[in-house]
């Protein structure tokens, strides 16, 4: 099958989804109005609540959700063939993931920028808030450990990326200071900052050779460094680091995706993977594990946390929720499609593909799958005349930059979740952002050090995928209850919720069973997975009780338009 044709059909589906389906959701289901009050203007504090221009916030939101997950997941899942992976990314993004992200953003905007957990308290019950926030806290716990390992793995395998990533942080801080303290227009200095980043990419390998100590740091060493850095980034005002760096990342994203697409067109490769591969040696069954292996590339609970945890506090106009929420997820779908194609059409021959995907043990190795995307993507870009090694460094920097943004955003969300729980139960010390941030990072370090060892991504990825999808299902349940209590149609969120919850509960049961089978080495995963499963089933039961009740009490949200 021709890869260019597959990309064209999928991107066409995304365009139709945004043009028609998101418009329907915006006007008929969520009923957005341009002049509605938004939390960023009513509660502006200069730290978390900051009214932000749509194009700047789109960059922050997209790069926060588009970490390494939509690359790693598809690059593993193609072991079952290119068709199941591509169908799940395409259909899941349009009908499930984008609806989830859009709905989570809107419901948070209508509740003063509160997280989905806080919204669940008023929509379902105060008890559900605690249960949901605990599930979210477990998810972010795993996210921080997984993404730190992903970045550490890429730093070790691509040391040329270390210098440009650090340069990006420095120029982002300078950009934030210029824009928000001196009111400089962001476009021109952000393009200059991006040019500096590109220059740093070309110097990255030379820096790694001239400063050999950076090549001697192990993956575990990088995990410590990255999580300590994430704590510092999570307590800074969003305008100082997150927003400007993500705006630079948006330029990198546009460049990277454009180069990959143009290279794909010029190379015009054939897909080397089989259409369907039902029984790879050692692999779990495709159903339901396809749906949790490809998490962020199709639907992701983490996205709802970003939407309601940070993005909703920065939306300057209610109607911006459509391009940022629904459109941002479509952008991630594009990245997921390119990951599928890089891991199936980026190989020179079918034999090369089978050497990477001959068994589940080979396919699920984190380093191998990151390498599959980096090498496959570099093959696309090199068709444009760019040296292969330079292309590899560029892609590695792009993946690391996205993963680092997700890491920072995750640390900030964890801080906010811990503070919300602390306020609910009167634990005053944990309401301090520095204390809450430190507790969140310390927990992630505990997970990484005690359970990861030298195989962090391989061990933690399945737990991340299932927990992530469980959170997505619960978020869709909260949105469905909210819509029902407003007298709106719920089928557009209820059907995806049922599908996601069913697949992920079955997958989590299988994973917990495997953790207990190796309890001595994976005791923390066994205990946490069991707790997550119990909490999730409890929340679903509470939500369904309200959803199926004969007379769910109506709600009225301040600032919302009536039917």
pLDDT at 461: 66
Q: Is residue 556 part of a domain?
A: no
Q: List, for residues 202-220, the tens digit of each pLDDT value.
A: 888 888 888 888 888 988 8
Q: Is residue 285 part of a domain?
A: yes
553 vs 166, more confident: 166
pLDDT at residue 192 is higher than 60: yes
Least confident range of 45-54, 187-196, 354-363, 432-441: 354-363
Query: What long-range pairs does 203-211 form, CB within 8 A, spacing at least 24?
Result: 203/163, 203/164, 204/159, 204/160, 204/161, 204/162, 204/163, 204/164, 204/393, 204/397, 205/159, 205/160, 205/389, 205/393, 207/160, 207/162, 207/163, 208/159, 208/160, 208/162, 208/163
Q: Considering the entire predicted model, what is its pTM?
A: 0.84
Question: What would the mean pLDDT of 137-143 be, rounded to a whole number?
Answer: 85
pLDDT at residue 397 is higher than 90: no
Phi/psi class of residue 41: alpha, beta or left (left: φ > 0; alpha: ψ in -120 to 50)? alpha
pLDDT at residue 297 is higher than 90: no
Q: Is residue 562 part of a domain?
A: no
Distances, alpha carbon 334 to alpha carbons 166, 208, 236, 327, 343, in Å: 27, 32, 31, 11, 14
Residue 244: band (very low, low, confident or very high) from pLDDT cuts 50, 70, 90: confident
Does the bond joining 288 to the residue before it have cis omega, within 30 degrees of 0?
yes
Identify the residue whose tokens are 């010029």.
266
pLDDT at 81: 95
pLDDT at 71: 83
Q: What is the CATH number of the domain that holds 306?
A: 1.20.1740
pLDDT at residue 296 is higher than 60: yes
Instruction: Calculate the average pLDDT of the chain.
Output: 87
DSSP label at residue 214: G
Q: Is residue 552 part of a domain?
A: no
Q: Is residue 557 part of a domain?
A: no
Please return the burial class of 370, using the count of CB atoms within 10 Å of its CB with bins 0-12, 13-18 and 19+.
buried
Please return the burial class of 219, using the count of CB atoms within 10 Å of its CB with bins 0-12, 13-18 and 19+.
buried
pLDDT at residue 269 is higher than 90: yes
Q: Is residue 59 part of a domain?
A: yes
Distances, alpha carbon 439 to alpha carbons 141, 417, 460, 518, in Å: 11, 11, 20, 28
pLDDT at residue 366 is higher than 70: no
Residue 263: band (very low, low, confident or very high) from pLDDT cuts 50, 70, 90: very high
pLDDT at residue 420 is higher than 90: no
Q: Domain range for residue 242?
A: 3-547
pLDDT at residue 140 is higher than 70: yes
Determine the Cα–Cα distance for residues 70 and 79; give it in Å rounded to an integer: 15
Residue 22: band (very low, low, confident or very high) from pLDDT cuts 50, 70, 90: very high
pLDDT at 453: 47
Q: Is residue 145 part of a domain?
A: yes
pLDDT at 87: 97
Least confident range of 54-63, 76-85, 96-105: 54-63
pLDDT > 70 in the chain, percent: 94
* Number of structural domains found in the chain: 1
Q: Is residue 489 part of a domain?
A: yes
Residue 365: band (very low, low, confident or very high) from pLDDT cuts 50, 70, 90: low
């Amino acid at each position: 099958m021709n890869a260019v044709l597959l990309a064209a059909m999928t991107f066409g589906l995304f365009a139709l989804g945004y043009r028609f389906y998101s418009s329907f959701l915006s006007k008929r289901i969520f009923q957005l109005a341009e002049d509605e009050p938004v939390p960023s203007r009513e509660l502006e504090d200069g730290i978390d609540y900051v009214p932000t221009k749509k194009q700047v916030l789109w960059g922050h939101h997209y790069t926060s959700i588009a970490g390494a997950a939509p690359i790693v997941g598809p690059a593993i899942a193609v072991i079952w063939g290119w068709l199941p992976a591509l169908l799940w990314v395409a259909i899941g993004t349009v009908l499930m993931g984008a609806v989830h992200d859009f709905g989570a953003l809107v419901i948070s905007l209508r509740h003063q920028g509160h997280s989905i957990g806080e919204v669940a308290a008023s929509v379902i019950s105060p008890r559900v808030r605690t249960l949901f926030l605990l599930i979210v806290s477990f998810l972010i716990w795993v996210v921080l450990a997984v993404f730190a390992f992903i970045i550490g793995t890429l730093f070790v395998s691509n040391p040329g990326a270390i210098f440009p990533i650090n340069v990006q942080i420095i120029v982002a801080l300078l950009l934030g200071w210029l824009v928000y303290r001196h009111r400089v227009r962001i476009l021109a200095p952000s393009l200059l900052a991006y040019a500096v980043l590109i220059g740093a990419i070309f110097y990255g390998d030379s820096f790694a050779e001239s400063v050999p100590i950076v090549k001697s740091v192990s993956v575990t060493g990088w995990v410590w460094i990255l999580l300590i850095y994430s704590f510092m980034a999570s307590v800074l005002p969003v305008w100082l680091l997150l927003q400007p760096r993500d705006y630079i990342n948006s330029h990198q994203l546009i460049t990277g995706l454009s180069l990959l697409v143009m290279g794909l067109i010029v190379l015009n490769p054939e897909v080397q993977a089989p259409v369907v591969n039902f029984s790879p040696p050692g692999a779990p069954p495709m159903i339901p594990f396809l749906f949790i292996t490809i998490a962020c590339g199709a639907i992701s609970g983490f996205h709802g946390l970003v939407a309601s945890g940070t993005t909703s506090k920065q939306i300057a106009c209610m109607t911006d929720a459509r391009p940022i929420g629904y459109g941002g997820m479509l952008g991630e779908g594009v990245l997921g499609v390119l990951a599928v194609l890089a891991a199936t059409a980026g190989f020179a021959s079918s034999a090369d593909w089978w050497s990477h995907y001959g068994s589940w043990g080979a396919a699920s190795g984190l380093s191998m799958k990151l390498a599959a995307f980096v090498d496959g993507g570099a093959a696309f870009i090199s068709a444009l005349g760019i040296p292969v090694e330079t292309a590899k460094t560029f892609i590695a920097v792009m993946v690391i930059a996205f993963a680092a943004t997700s890491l920072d955003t995750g640390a900030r969300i964890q801080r906010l979740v811990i503070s919300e729980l602390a306020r609910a139960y009167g634990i005053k010390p944990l309401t301090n952002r520095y204390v809450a941030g430190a507790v969140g990072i310390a927990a992630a370090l505990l997970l990484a050090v005690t359970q990861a060892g030298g195989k962090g991504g391989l061990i933690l990825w399945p737990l991340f995928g299932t927990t992530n999808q469980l959170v997505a299902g619960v978020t869709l349940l909260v949105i469905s209850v909210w819509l029902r209590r407003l007298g709106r149609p719920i089928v557009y969120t209820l059907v995806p919720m049922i599908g996601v919850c069913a697949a992920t509960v079955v997958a989590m049961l299988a994973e917990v069973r495997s953790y207990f089978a190796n309890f001595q080495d994976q005791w923390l995963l066994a205990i946490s997975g069991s707790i997550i499963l119990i909490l999730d089933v409890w929340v679903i039961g509470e939500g369904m009780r309200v959803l199926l009740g004969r007379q769910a009490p109506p709600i009225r949200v301040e600032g919302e338009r009536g039917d």
